[in-house]
Amino acid sequence: MNNLNETLLTAIEVELRRQIARLDESHTALYHEMLTYHMGWTGKGAGQKATGKRIRPLLVLLASAATKGEWQNALPAAAAVELIHNFSLLHDDIQDNSETRRGRPTVWVKWGAAQAINAGDGLLIIANLAMADLENRISAEIAMEGSRLLQETCLNLTRGQHLDISYEMRTDLEVGDYWSMISGKTAALISACTHLGALLGGADEGTQSTYRDFGHYLGLSFQVQDDILGIWGDEALTGKSAASDLLEGKKSLPVLYGLGKNGEFARKWLQGPLAPDDVPGMAKLLEAEGARLQAQQSADQMTDLSLKALRMANPQGEAGDQLFELANWLLKREA
């Protein structure tokens, strides 16, 4: 790994632990454990695979440094976006009835749904407190603007999640509906990361807008890639069952492309919920009908738009180089 990225990721982990330590008291020890477990630091299987890649906070710090800002000043914001991301994952696991996350039992499986909901709420609140810490490092005006940006992003996350859940029961969806959903559910937070980094780095409004576009299209590409992995990914790498998306009836991009073909996949899909034994054959049908290729082409298109916006932003120095490398890596990821 690049030396700059190593430095940033180490600093991110220290800041995350500092923020979550707000609950590290004797009478809330179990509560604190739930959060540290979900973050991948404690419990069986703890370690790098369990923590995730910390892509979102890394984007904040790289964007800040690439706009000639002091990345250290953006650390509370970097921690906040990762806490918000994990808050959404914790609640997603309950809503999707997912029993594993990154190869480990989810928080609700270990401690029950009620405690898991509360733990997710705690992560969201700590994220807001982390943003308040910005006032000790930058101007109050910029700190308030950053906080407002993140709150609007959280609202967009809930919009996207609402659509994602409601889509499961609908049979009249088109590809355009999908883009509306993931613009909120996934792209909103990644876009906020690059926008927030540029804001805290001192970039002008035009440059901030270009960074926001970079993150938006990167987020769209990331989600499409996630949809592909959700059907055809290697479970050993993703830590999640490749059958779950089809079993849960998720209207992912490959599924919508497949339904649009009105072929054998669409006929079987519309007959009702799939059984576990149906999934391998349905995945093969989807691929044979060209849905996997179409989805990959969409991911490639979104990545091209993302890289175009990043070139327009003209990021500087080693951090700028790392932003390009990270964007290219995200397109080729296998987990």
Q: Identify the pLDDT of residue 169.
A: 82
Reported as half-sphere exposure (CB side, CA atoms, 13 A), residue 335 has a value of 14
Q: At which residue do the structure tokens 């999934």 appear?
A: 279
Q: What is the pLDDT along the chain (335 residues), one digit of tens a residue?
A: 578 999 999 999 999 999 999 999 999 999 999 999 999 999 999 999 999 999 999 999 999 999 999 999 999 999 999 999 999 999 999 998 889 999 999 999 999 999 999 999 999 999 999 999 999 999 999 999 999 999 999 999 999 999 999 988 888 899 999 999 999 999 999 999 999 999 999 999 999 999 999 999 999 999 999 999 999 987 766 555 556 789 888 899 999 999 999 999 999 998 988 999 999 999 999 999 999 999 999 999 998 999 999 999 999 999 999 999 998 888 676 65
Distance (Å, whole) CA 240 – CA 151: 29
Q: Identify the pLDDT of residue 170.
A: 87
pTM listed for this prediction? 0.92
Distance (Å, whole) CA 89 – CA 310: 27
Q: Which residues touch 236 (CB under 8 Å, ≥6 apart)?
A: none
CB 106 within 8 A of CB 98: yes
Pairing between β-strand 100-101 and β-strand 104-105 as defined by DSSP bridges = antiparallel
**Secondary structure string (H, E, C) spanning the chain:** CCHHHHHHHHHHHHHHHHHHHHHCCHHHHHHHHHHHHHCCCCCCCCCHHHHCCCHHHHHHHHHHHHCCCCHHHHHHHHHHHHHHHHHHHHHHHHHCCCCEECCEECHHHHHCHHHHHHHHHHHHHHHHHHHHHHHHCCCHHHHHHHHHHHHHHHHHHHHHHHHHHHHCCCCCCCHHHHHHHHHHHHHHHHHHHHHHHHHHCCCCHHHHHHHHHHHHHHHHHHHHHHHHHHHHCCHHHHCCCCCHHHHCCCCCHHHHHHHHHCCHHHHHHCCCCCCHHHHHHHHHHHHHCCHHHHHHHHHHHHHHHHHHHHHHHCCCHHHHHHHHHHHHHHHHCCC
Residue 191, sorted as left (phi over 0), alpha (psi -120 to 50) or beta, turns out to be alpha
Q: Identify the pLDDT of residue 107.
A: 98
